[in-house]
């Protein structure tokens, strides 16, 4: 495989050489190099592509059609066996491959898959690896260090122009983008741009993210999720054994996963913690009032789009009121329409929920336990989002004085919340800013925050005679440990099939699709293979020039709900819609049936390390099996 320095001329060249030496591999690594990778039967012989019906979009199809006039409505494709190899699938190709975004176990197997496809099906082909990710357009051994990864995006006219020049310079027939939702959005934009310019370069995406939030019916899983969850579950199981051994610690474990709680839910199903906070549940308890579904309500809380209309909504009256940023709307306005339950989903209530269980366990003689917390917990608590929005606005213009006079600019409820937070978290909110001056939410150590708040609440209850136990909290964050582990047998095989399928799609002249492998609960030879239109996964967000620095109001006209701002409308930005935990889905329903039992009884499971041979080595994660209707 040839290595190209950069998709963009000025990027990637400074990336250090990975420098892997097989001579220093462990026995396990060496063994994994020789792990057999079976293919679905449709990829073992001659095949042809069968197009499906025209596709649409996950949301706002009219806007997606405007943004992708060449890609929109194109059909997805399925590989089916045929008697002979079509003559147009015999010529050599020049293909580029790029690893984009955060690492996930199995990325090298995707590259191995497309490499083997070209070796076997398109002789005299060249595969270019772009070092360092988009700004730079090994078999079963983990990592992305074969060509490294990057988080750069191709979004400005100059960047698109540079990508065009690189593709033409290398005479690329195709480009494979291995990445998550943002990276695959970028892949679709590149496909649209190349098609608009009548370039021959085709672009195919590949679903990668440990977070598990890039999936749909046609793309049932993103690679890396299976491995990461099993790595985290091993560590959680170890912590559980430690907790039971000493009998004196509550372990608060924050798990990587961005806004979605898929990892937390899967690890809970694998290990049975005493408490697992599922962020989507905080919204789901009140989102369906007035026939407003969970996704709609979450969209109001998290994204604050400039114009939102809800035809089915039956709200009769919504008082118009100015608030800083749409992030805080729910806190001040929901009581006006009777969403009383929304007032309960505050940080204080999350603290009380944990504290209640700790008190009940203390009465049973248990002064220890394990609590799982999703990385995106704060995204689901409206009052915290309101506070952050106000802090972003205030700190953009004012200096934090020692006397605390700046706090008077906070709304009363935000001021009370700020004072409620532990001192260390207050300092993080004030001092940890990104280059744009905003609070770095991802760096807030939620696990330490909850330990401090639970400790304070328990002391209060002890003084009131309502708690007689003892509490010691230990904090953990499991994140980067899971991104580059040796891939499970499932991820290794799945990734190899995804890469091989991507080669078939590019060889067949397809562009703007994401490599799709389905029927994953069946034996590998029965897996289905094809490509799904990237535009079918997309929705749009309205973007403004300055985030969290605008004012507006909600108003309601009987059957339509609008968000009005006094700033000029921003442009629609296409995004692949994140797949959140579905409260009506089988994985969450199974968790909901068991969580009360786990809370007061110690039903801990220690899964142990990932197995590559023997019992359990080919097991697939609970989430995927349950979603596919198989037994988990």
Which residues belong to the active site? Answer: 211
- The answer to whether 482 is a known ligand-binding residue is yes
Run of H or E residues at 69:
none
CA 186 to chain centre: 16
CA distances from 193 to 179, 189, 202, 355, 384 (A): 19, 6, 10, 54, 40
CB neighbour class for 562 (10 Å; exposed up to 12, middle 13-18, buried from 19) = middle
CA distance 576 to 312: 24
Q: What is the C-alpha separation between 47 and 85, in angstroms, rounded?
A: 7
480 marked as binding residue = yes
Which of 134, 125, 129 is CA-nearest to residue 94?
125
Find the helix or strand (DSSP H, E) in which 360 lies. helix 347-363
Q: Check the annotation: does 151 bind a ligand.
A: no
102 is in an annotated binding site: yes
Q: How far apart are CA 145 and CA 215, in angstroms?
A: 25
How far apart CA 227 and CA 317 sit, in angstroms, is: 49
Q: Dihedral, CA atoms, 621, 627, 630, 632, nearest 10 degrees?
A: 40
CB 412 within 8 A of CB 295: no
* CB distance 600 to 365 below 8 Å: no
Ligand-binding annotation for 258, yes or no, is yes
323 vs 554: CA distance, rounded Å: 9
Distance CA 19, CA 303 (A): 42
Does the annotation place 317 within a ligand binding site?
no
Is residue 464 a known part of a binding site?
no
DSSP state of 74: P
Other C-beta atoms lying within 10 Å of the C-beta of residue 605: 14
**211 assigned ligand-binding residue:** yes
Between CA 371 and CA 4 the distance in angstroms is: 46
Is 13 marked as binding a ligand?
Answer: no
Q: Treating both helix axes as pointing N-terminal to C-terminal, what angle do 262-271 and 225-246 enclose, rounded to 10 degrees?
A: 50
The CB-side HSE value for 516 (13 A sphere, CA atoms) comes to 25
Kindly tell me the burial class for residue 141, based on how many C-beta atoms sit within 10 Å of its own C-beta (0-12, 13-18, 19 or more).
buried
- Annotated binding-site residue numbers for substrate: 209-211, 248-249, 256-258, 375, 480-483
- Annotated binding-site residue numbers for Mg(2+): 181
- Annotated binding-site residue numbers: 102, 181, 209-211, 248-249, 256-258, 375, 480-483
């Amino acid at each position: 495989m040839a290595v190209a320095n950069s998709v963009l001329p000025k990027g990637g060249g400074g990336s250090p050489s990975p420098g892997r030496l097989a001579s220093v591999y462990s026995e396990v690594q060496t063994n994994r190099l020789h792990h057999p990778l079976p293919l679905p039967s449709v990829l073992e012989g001659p095949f042809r592509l069968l197009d499906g019906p025209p596709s649409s979009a996950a949301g706002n199809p009219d806007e997606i059609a405007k943004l992708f006039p060449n890609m929109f409505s194109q059909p997805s494709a399925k590989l089916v066996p045929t008697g002979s190899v079509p003559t147009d699938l015999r010529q050599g190709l020049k293909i580029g491959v790029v690893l984009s975004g955060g690492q996930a176990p199995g990325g090298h197997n995707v590259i191995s898959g497309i490499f083997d496809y070209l070796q076997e099906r398109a002789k005299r082909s060249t595969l270019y690896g772009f070092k360092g990710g988009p700004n730079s357009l090994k078999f079963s051994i983990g990592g992305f260090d074969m060509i490294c990864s990057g988080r750069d995006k191709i979004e400005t006219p100059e960047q698109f122009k540079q990508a065009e020049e690189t593709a033409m310079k290398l005479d690329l027939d195709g480009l494979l983008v291995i990445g998550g939702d943002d990276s695959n959005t970028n892949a679709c934009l590149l496909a649209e741009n190349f098609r608009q310019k009548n370039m021959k370069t085709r672009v195919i995406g590949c679903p990668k993210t440990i977070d598990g939030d890039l999936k749909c019916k046609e793309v049932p899983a993103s690679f890396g999720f299976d491995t990461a969850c099993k790595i985290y579950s091993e560590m959680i199981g170890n912590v559980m054994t430690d907790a039971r051994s000493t009998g004196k610690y509550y372990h608060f474990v924050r798990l990587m996963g961005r806004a979605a709680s898929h990892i937390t839910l899967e690890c809970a199903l694998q290990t049975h913690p005493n408490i697992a906070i599922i962020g989507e549940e905080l919204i789901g308890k009140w989102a369906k009032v007035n026939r407003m579904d969970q996704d709609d309500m979450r969209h109001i809380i998290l994204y604050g789009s400039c114009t939102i209309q809800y035809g089915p909504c039956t709200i009769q009256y919504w008082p118009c009121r100015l608030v800083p940023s749409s992030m805080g709307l729910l806190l001040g306005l929901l009581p006006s329409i009777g969403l009383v339950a929304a007032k309960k989903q505050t940080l204080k209530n999350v603290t009380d929920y944990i504290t209640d269980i700790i008190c009940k366990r203390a009465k049973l003689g248990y002064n220890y336990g394990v609590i799982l917390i999703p990385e995106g917990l704060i995204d689901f608590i409206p009052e915290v989002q309101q506070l952050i929005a106000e802090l972003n606005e205030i700190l953009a213009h004012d200096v934090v004085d020692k006397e605390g006079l700046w706090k008077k600019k906070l709304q009363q409820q935000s001021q009370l919340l700020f004072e409620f937070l532990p001192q260390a978290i207050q300092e993080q909110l004030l001092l940890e800013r990104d280059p744009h001056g905003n609070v770095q939410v991802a760096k807030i150590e939620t696990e330490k925050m909850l330990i401090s708040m639970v400790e304070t609440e328990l002391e209060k209850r002890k003084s009131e005679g309502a708690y007689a136990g003892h509490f010691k909290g230990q904090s953990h964050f499991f994140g980067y440990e899971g991104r580059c582990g040796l891939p499970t047998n499932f991820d290794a095989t799945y990734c190899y099939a995804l890469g091989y399928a991507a080669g078939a799609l590019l060889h067949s002249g397809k562009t703007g699709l994401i490599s799709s492998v389905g029927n994953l609960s069946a034996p590998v030879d029965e897996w289905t293979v094809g490509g799904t239109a990237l535009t079918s996964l997309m929705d749009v967000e309205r973007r403004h020039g300055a985030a969290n620095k605008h004012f507006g109001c909600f108003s309601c006209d009987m059957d339509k709900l609008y968000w009005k701002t006094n700033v000029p409308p921003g442009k629609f930005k296409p995004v692949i819609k994140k797949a959140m935990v579905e409260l009506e889905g089988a994985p969450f329903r199974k968790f909901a049936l068991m969580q009360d039992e786990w809370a007061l009884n110690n039903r801990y499971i220690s899964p142990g390390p990932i197995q590559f041979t023997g019992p359990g080595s080919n097991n697939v994660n609970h989430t995927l099996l349950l979603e596919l209707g198989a037994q988990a």
